[in-house]
Chain A
């Protein structure tokens, strides 16, 4: 996979394409960690102590799980609401 492409299909270097995909994925992950840390800090941290006690640690872990659950719940419910409005979703999908 070492050929640094010049032309090819539409001039897109496959190595760069792959790189962009991977880095974009990594960034999405990083962004979510930033966001969840911020949110969960508000919910789980009282006064910053000399170390992260186990109660706070558990809270952070639960917080992450519940955040993902919330996100999935919202997507699923939105999808269901769209399906029930059949005429509406038909015009959306085309």
Chain B
């Protein structure tokens, strides 16, 4: 992933400073965006796991039985639904606040 990618960027985009070892801000920004997206996904997964474990696992047995697995699957979907609902509601509120300013 590294080799081909890096050299293309160096010749096409780094025109401002001229060749050499100049850091390309476009590439940095893309990498940062990816890292942020990964971090958000990890955060979501961590919280989802916590919540669904609490909801679906009673007394921990020797393995996850069928009902527990079904519960976890549903819980995951509901958590995503909830996340999206919260995101929309928060966005609406922010827009309303901005409109009132």
| B82 interfacial contact with A, CB 8 Å | yes
Q: Which of B24, B78, B89 contacts A61 (CB 8 A)?
A: B89
Given A34-B47, A37-B47, residue A47 in contact with residue B55 (CB < 8 A):
yes
The answer to whether A45 and B87 have CB atoms under 8 Å apart is no
Q: Number of A interface residues, CB 8 Å? A: 37
Q: What sequence of 0s and 1s flags, for each residue 49-72 of chain A, a beta carbon within 8 Å of any chain B beta carbon? A: 111100011001101110010000
Nearest 3 Cβ contacts at the A-B interface: A4-B16, A64-B89, A48-B75
Q: Chain A's interface: helix, strand, loop or mixed, by majority? A: helix
> Which range contains the number of B residues in contact with the other chain?
35 or more
Binding site for A on B (CB under 8 A): 14, 16-17, 24-26, 28-29, 32-33, 36, 40, 43-44, 47, 51-52, 55-56, 71, 74-75, 77-79, 81-83, 85-87, 89-91, 93-94
The answer to whether A15 and B25 have CB atoms under 8 Å apart is yes
